[in-house]
Amino acid sequence: MELIRRPVERFHETLTKNYQRMKKNVVLALLALLGTLSSYAQVSFGVKAGFSSAKMSFDESDGVKRLAAWHAGAIADFELAENFALQPQLLVSTKGYKAEGIDESFKLTYLELPVNFLYKHELGAGKIFGGFGPYLAMGLSGKYGEVDVKFDGKKDEELGETDEDIHGKRMDAGANFIAGYELKNGLLFSVNYSLGLTDVDPNGTKSKNGYFGISVGYLFKTKK
């Protein structure tokens, strides 16, 4: 058994290292792309904040209600063409769910990077817009009631009997869908749906984040 276990452990370590390296390369490539776009495209920077209705999906989702949550952060808007834009955002957002029948909430706080590809169309005093794109999020903190959530990826069988914490995966990823209205003075309003596509539970319960959000923001208009 030892002859089998050691190669399997080494294979798992190799996969983990490759996955971490891939995430780093994706982030570096994205930063390089944004740097290139800022040199050639008209870009505006701004801020946004709003409220969310969050809920996690599981293999068995009975007894789970929506959690009142929030998000806030910075946005950039790169004009790619007359009606097209790339809009990355860097947000602090809360996700999770509320347990039905008991006054307990499972609340996770993430640093989230959605990158939305937008189509804009002039209408009235501004532009309507809609689009979609991927997101990548990193867990910062979490609680279930008074119990801490640790983002270390440990499974139940790896924990000691005295361990009372909840353990989860640090990284989350998925898709974001957004629509809204942008006024000519830079004020904007939007709604979005964030669809988690990765299992954030190390035990494989297919626990995926999701939330509906409503936001208000402001873009500081700049001209090249």
CA distance 79 to 96: 34
Same domain? 107 vs 207: yes
Confidence class for position 164, pLDDT limits 50, 70, 90:
confident
Q: pLDDT tens across 95-145, in order?
A: 999 988 777 899 999 999 999 999 999 999 999 999 999 999 999 999 988
Can you list the positions of beta strands (E) in 18-158? 42-54, 64-65, 67-79, 84-99, 105-123, 126-144, 147-150
pTM for the full predicted model: 0.80
Same domain? 71 vs 122: yes
Same domain? 8 vs 73: no
CA distance 99 to 90: 29
What pLDDT is recorded for position 100? 80
Q: Which residue has the tokens 């999020």?
A: 137
Q: pLDDT tens across 52-62, in order?
A: 999 998 876 66
For the chain, how many structural domains are there in total? Answer: 2
Domain of residue 164, residue span: 42-220
**Does pLDDT of 224 surpass 60?**
no
Same domain? 13 vs 59: no
Same domain? 50 vs 114: yes
| Residues contacting residue 123 through CB under 8 Å, at least 6 positions apart | 181
Q: What is the mean pLDDT of residues 7-31?
A: 52
